[in-house]
A and B are shown apart, each in its own frame.
Chain A
Amino acid sequence: MHPILKLVSQRLALGLLLLLAASALIFVGTQILPGDVAQSILGQSATPEALANLREELGLSEPALSRYFSWLGSAIQGDLGVALTNGQDIATSMGRRLGNTLFLAFWAAVISVPLAIFLGLLAVRYKDRWPDKLISGVTLASISIPEFLIGYVLMYFVGVKLGWAPSVAMINDSMSLGEKLHAIALPVTVLTLVVLAHMMRMTRAAILNVMQSAYIETAELKGLSSFQVIARHAFPNAIAPIVNVVMLNLAYLVVGVVVVEVVFVYPGMGQYLVDHVAKRDVPVVQACGLVFAAVYICLNMVADIVSILANPRLRHPK
């Protein structure tokens, strides 16, 4: 078997095992939390009778272990079940939310990844001169400010004062692509600012590292312009660490943006998960947890494979 194929299949198997472990951990976690879904649904208005009735109806009177395995059994067959709280089909409602999250993450990535790499290259080109310092300064400042604050500031000035973009990024199916993009302008800007610095700094550091090599000196000696040296010779050799950090940030864009979603009232996965954790709606939490874990595992796998492909020594092991 080709070593790459072997690697991928090994990684996939390991990923599945990790997913199983994650589901067990999430289940245990939700059991440890105080209160259960019946208490959460009824809240302050819970009476003992209403609680007992609801628990019976939701099947919470069964022991935890048998609940976990019956969930696992149907999940393996692709049936994620229905939410305990409102009876909606999990696959459908989560699918819509996941689509929204991916939509936001996609556009944030489309803007931030090329921009970060370009700024990184630019910073290397003008190393220790004012463009480098400016880029580093601005991106570091934007990563240091909490994202909700950037969100509020943009919301106030761009959304309320200037009226250029809606302050609430609510999208729905009846909107055209243009309307959707307009609606998510502010959250995409915030996310771009948040992930930019990390990727930019990594690009800069990785390329500077390569720039010490002898073959760069050779390239310079044969008369290439400094940007050509960076783009043709340094960048391909620095790709592994850059892809790693890009993938980490992409994963963040999918699973870590709950704060931005809440601030801009964006109907994504984060808010969906938080709502259901608060209500102890275990099947939904499980399903969301699995999706998040799968995204992380996949993106990390991609990062690994790309770094192997980018490195001839790893591509052709002896």
Chain B
Amino acid sequence: MQDQLDYLAKRAGAGKLSRRDFMGKASALGVSAAAASTMFASAAYADGPKKGGDLKIGSTGGESTNSLDPATWASQVPYHNGRQFGDTLVEVSPTGEIEPRLATSVESTPDAKTWMFKLRQGVEFHNGKTMTGDDVLKTMERHSNEDSKSGALGVMKNIESMKVDGDTFSITLKDANADLPYLMSDYHLVIQPGGGMDNPAAGIGTGPYKMEVNEPGVRHMYSKHANYWGDDAHFDSVEILAINDATARTAALQSGQVQLINRLEPKIAGLLARAPGVSVQSTPGRGHYVFIMHTDTAPFDNNELRLALKYAINREEMVEKILRGYGSVGNDMPINAAYPLFDSSIEQRTYDIDKAKEHYAKSGHDGSPIILRTADGAFPGAVDAAQLFQQSAAAAGIPLEIKREPNDGYWSEVWNVQPFCASYWGGRPVQDQMYSTAYLSSADWNDTNFNNPEFDAKLIEAKAELDVTKRKALYSEMGMLVRDQGGLICPMFNDFIDGVSDKLVGWDVDPNGELMNGQVTRKLWFA
């Protein structure tokens, strides 16, 4: 049997046997699926990555309105574009550590107020120029100056001053932040020649692939950058096709027109997993689907009512019916086990009709229907989720009235405007950033209007705390405050569900983002 297995492994390593075929044949020999999977991976890795091939990715979230200006990026195709032609100073590894990219090392002063990034030397832009400290400085200035419209403006606000000294780029903060390197891994912060001040949408960076064709909303074509500084990125060319329709995307993967797709619909994922030639990769992430209440608007200014609603939602049912199991239950705080320093000992809140009734009675709500606004665009399945919520709340005697809003204009007219609505968060690499973005009383996107001085104080304390144990304790207390007093009802964390052709090798679980945090084009190769 061992001989046969060796033979199979060799064939798999030579790319002559797909993962699926290998698994099937290995299990016929009596090998367990898990063991076969490991064997396949080691066989495929044995000869190291193979160079070459043209990779095609079918991605949702591509519009004709997309720009190559990193400051404007908000959807998936621009995000993946940035990963091809661009590079950030640092990146977050699958296990949550800071890893070098254009900066080779990061150091801080003991008070976590000044941060020094040592810049990689001899890095070449696609236009042939060599990257300098000035390019880095100008890039960061463009994202943080007063007339910036950058999506990263929020993470840059705390910066007091920046300077370049030889090959060191340093940032001085107004308030200490032990997580600053994580902020600098933001996908908008792609280093551009001259900071992109003259031509922000030129699409020139230091990334592994050089832009060849830019047709927004249709396709983006890249070829391997000959003078790329890294030793990964194995494809000759990469093409990102904007395929927004989920069925078309799935069909394109199945018919072999593309080798990778993102955002599989949970209801399709189960079926696709059984199709030949492709596999479904489900990665637990930090994104979560939520119902948010404005804690300063009646009737949600009453914590008893908020608690009643939190006990009246059936989280397991939502994960099962909305996510079809591709996700995990939430605990009314925006943090889960995918975050570093997560306290797993916090008790899981469950659907409890008695407690919901008790809190509802204490709240003294007059019994008028509570209006919950939702739209298909709030998150996939948001309308169905609202209906499930309505039913589970009705069982506890809490009347919810669902108001369905149009997708168009949802983020400008409903979210952050109406007191109770469905929404989603993509998550952030670290707890501090998540809380600072959406739960600090002065945050721009404080979409629950959460105003808790104790919470704010702990958040600021944790920022400057370099002792990991103490920070973990602080984060745990903050999580409890949001969970028990906040306006967030978080029923579920969704997985990233990607579809991958069996022709590709090297897949790794990366909770930082879809398609391995956008690094598929660097880390995968054709078998």
Contact = CB atoms under 8 A, between A and B. Distances in A.
A267 B149 contact: no
Nearest to B150: A50
A168 B65 contact: no
Interface in B41-75: 58, 63-69, 72, 74-75
The residue in A41, A56, A86, A267 that gathers the most chain B C-beta atoms within 10 A of its C-beta is: A86
Interface of A: 33-35, 39-51, 53-54, 56-57, 83, 85-88, 93, 96-97, 152, 155-156, 159-160, 163, 166-168, 170, 172, 262-265, 267, 271-272, 275-276, 278-279, 281
B338 interface: no
Interface residues of B, number: 49
B271 to A, nearest CB: 12
A267 B218 contact: yes
Contact of B218 (A46, A170, A264, A279): A170
A168 B72 CA distance: 28
A159 B251 contact: yes
B65 A276 contact: yes
B304 to A, nearest CB: 30
Given A45-B151, A267-B215, A275-B63, A35 B248 contact: no
Given A168-B248, A172-B213, A278-B408, 10 more contacts: A44-B74, A49-B153, A50-B150, A88-B216, A163-B256, A167-B254, A168-B255, A262-B245, A267-B217, A267-B218
A272 B217 contact: yes
Contacts of B454: none
B188 to A, nearest CB: 10
A189 to B, nearest CB: 15
Given A86-B66, A93-B64, A42 B255 contact: no
B252 A168 contact: yes
Interface string B133-159: 000000000000011111101100000
Interface of B: 58, 63-69, 72, 74-75, 146-151, 153-154, 201, 213, 215-219, 241-245, 247-248, 251-252, 254-258, 408-409, 411-413, 415, 423, 444-445
Nearest to B409: A34
A170 B241 contact: yes
Contact of B65 (A49, A51, A57, A281): A281
Contacts of B408: 33-34, 278
A279 B74 CA distance: 12
A26 to B, nearest CB: 16
Contacts of A57: 147, 149
Most buried by B among A50, A53, A87, A96: A50
Contacts of B411: 35, 39, 43-44, 46
Given A262-B244, A265-B241, A159 B255 contact: yes
Nearest to A40: B412
B248 A263 contact: yes
Contacts of B423: 44
